[in-house]
A and B are shown apart, each in its own frame.
Chain A
Amino acid sequence: MSHATHRNNAGRGSYVPSASGAALSAGDDAAGTGGAAREEILKRETHSSRAVASIIAAGLIIALCIFALLETAVRAVGQEPWIVDPQTAAEQVVALPEGVPPLLLGVLGAVLVMAGLYFFLNAVLPGRRARHVLPDRRAAVVVDDEVIASALARRTRLAANVSQEQVMVTVSRRQVDVSVRPTSGVPLSPDAVLAAVKDELREMGPVPAPEVRINVTTTGVVGA
């Protein structure tokens, strides 16, 4: 691979109450599409819809219901149960700590807690996607952070006069990390690189605007 452009889902860990909608006025709103509609589109596009978790949840519930349905239907017509008769199952649940090894019970509980946490956190966390909003006159524009990182890496590569493999850029919501490994023996000015990256970012104008941090490694690359 060429320059590693990393994707960093900043939304996962921390919640920063933000002005993701308010700062969009950078675009000229006289251009028709209606600021409110545009802001809503942008809000939807920069946040996860939780469709995957929803489909998993619905699938789980459907599977459980089909099993219960089968056993109940079998019971209703007075046939032999398939795996467990509902009444026997209920009696086993009532008697619970007995009849099941405690280790199995604990592991089962832990698995359920894990699944529950997955769904609960999906519901509660803001669920931001690794995307930034760009100002535009006409349309609502969202850009994956990976694309921004790739563009900044290219600019860094040109400014520092190094090859693709020597640059790594990581873009998160409020932070851009540029790391350059200079060629051995060729001096590299971090200020010039920083200025170039900042210039590119200012031209791009992503919302929210990230801060740039530059890191020039002390060990160089030989023969690049």
Chain B
Amino acid sequence: MNGTPRILNRVLIGVLGFKLLAIGVLLILLASVPAVGVWWQSWAAGVWSLWRDLFERTRFPGRAESWLWIVAVLVLLLVIGAMVAWIAQQGKGRANLLVSEEDPGDVPGNVRIGSGVAEQALRTALADRPDLAGVTVATYEFRGEPGLRIRIQPRQGVAPHRLAAEVSALVEALDGALGKRTPVLIHVASGARSRFGRADRVR
């Protein structure tokens, strides 16, 4: 439930993949089919001479270099900046506040509850259970609204629906304490710790 831009990811990866595919197929064809080589040389030579003319016409007065090189540097810097921004979008969306609302009472001011409250309450409530190998609670912004993400790693053989129901009951108790219902995701996960740990024999 983080803010990874999924559609953007798909589109950009798809464009890149398609381009790589096209270039790869072209290279294979160039290597294997002579006729493609002839076509490529005439076509690419035309494009290349077009660009060369452009570079000739854009020279600095009195110097041999074209100012298009400066433009190219700027464009490349822009692309690098955009790519860094794209990477920074992955997995973003951690929130610090669970509740941030205007107090409807007589006293002027806002009510703010930090996300640590819910995270620590749930983590403590689940800490001593023998059937769990690990618990992580984090707050994420989901559609502009904070939501809890509870990731529990049960030991082998634990029935996930019973575990989920118990955690869900804890969440309902938390709702009562906070006075606000936030979106909650319970993820019953498997990982190295549950895979290699002992099976729980009691429950």
User: Using a CB–CB distance below 8 Å, which chain A residues touch chain B?
Assistant: 1-3, 5, 7, 31-34, 37-38, 40-41, 44-45, 47, 49-51, 53-55, 57-62, 65-66, 68-69, 72-73, 75-76, 78, 90-91, 93-97, 102-103, 105-106, 108-124, 134, 136-144, 146-148, 150-151, 153-154, 164, 200, 203-205
Q: Does B189 contact A (CB under 8 A)?
A: yes
In the complex, the answer to whether A55 meets B87 with C-beta atoms within 8 Å is: yes
Task: Report the Cα distance A190→B188, complex, angstroms.
Answer: 29
In the complex, the answer to whether A142 meets B188 with C-beta atoms within 8 Å is: yes
Query: Which of B23, B86, B91, B159 is the one whose CB lies under 8 Å from A204?
Result: B159
**Which residues from chain A contact B9 at a C-beta distance below 8 Å?**
49-51, 53-54, 123
Given contacts A96-B37, A136-B168, A138-B168, contact A45 B28 (CB under 8 A): no
On chain B, which size bracket covers the interface?
Answer: 35 or more
User: By CB atoms of chain A within 10 A, which of B70, B157, B183 has the most?
Assistant: B157
Task: Report the Cα distance A47→B4, complex, angstroms.
Answer: 12
In the complex, the answer to whether B30 meets A96 with C-beta atoms within 8 Å is: yes
Query: Which of B1, B28, B40 is the one whose CB lies under 8 Å from A96?
Result: B40
In the complex, the answer to whether A37 meets B142 with C-beta atoms within 8 Å is: yes
**Which residues from chain A contact B65 at a C-beta distance below 8 Å?**
75-76, 78
**Which residues from chain A contact B24 at a C-beta distance below 8 Å?**
108-116
In the complex, the answer to whether A54 meets B90 with C-beta atoms within 8 Å is: yes
In the complex, the answer to whether A140 meets B185 with C-beta atoms within 8 Å is: yes
Within 8 A of A (CB), among B77-119: 77, 79-80, 83-84, 86-87, 90-91
Task: Report the Cα distance A100→B72, complex, angstroms.
Answer: 27
Task: Report the Cα distance A116→B41, complex, angstroms.
Answer: 24
Task: Report the Cα distance A106→B32, complex, angstroms.
Answer: 8
In the complex, the answer to whether A65 meets B79 with C-beta atoms within 8 Å is: yes
Q: Does B178 contact A (CB under 8 A)?
A: no
Q: Does B25 contact A (CB under 8 A)?
A: yes
Task: Report the Cα distance A103→B28, complex, angstroms.
Answer: 9
Sample of 13 further A-B pairs with CB below 8 A, known A45-B187, A96-B41, A141-B187: A3-B156, A49-B6, A49-B9, A51-B91, A62-B84, A65-B79, A94-B45, A96-B30, A116-B24, A119-B13, A140-B185, A141-B186, A147-B158
Q: Does B19 contact A (CB under 8 A)?
A: yes
B160-179 near A? 1/0 per residue, CB < 8 Å: 11001101100110010000
In the complex, the answer to whether A61 meets B14 with C-beta atoms within 8 Å is: no
**Which residues from chain B contact A53 at a C-beta distance below 8 Å?**
9, 13
**Which residues from chain A contact B184 at a C-beta distance below 8 Å?**
33, 138-140
For residue B94, give the distance in angstroms from its CB to the closest CB of chain A. Answer: 15
Task: Report the Cα distance A40→B73, complex, angstroms.
Answer: 42
**Which residues from chain B contact A76 at a C-beta distance below 8 Å?**
65, 69-70, 73
Q: Does B146 contact A (CB under 8 A)?
A: no
In the complex, the answer to whether B14 meets A119 with C-beta atoms within 8 Å is: yes
In the complex, the answer to whether B4 meets A51 with C-beta atoms within 8 Å is: yes
Query: Which of B10, B157, B183, B190 is the one whose CB lies under 8 Å from A33?
Result: B183
Can you list 17 contacts pairing A with B, beta carbon distance less than 8 Å?
A3-B156, A45-B187, A47-B6, A49-B9, A57-B12, A59-B83, A91-B48, A96-B37, A109-B26, A116-B20, A120-B20, A123-B11, A136-B165, A138-B175, A139-B164, A144-B189, A150-B156
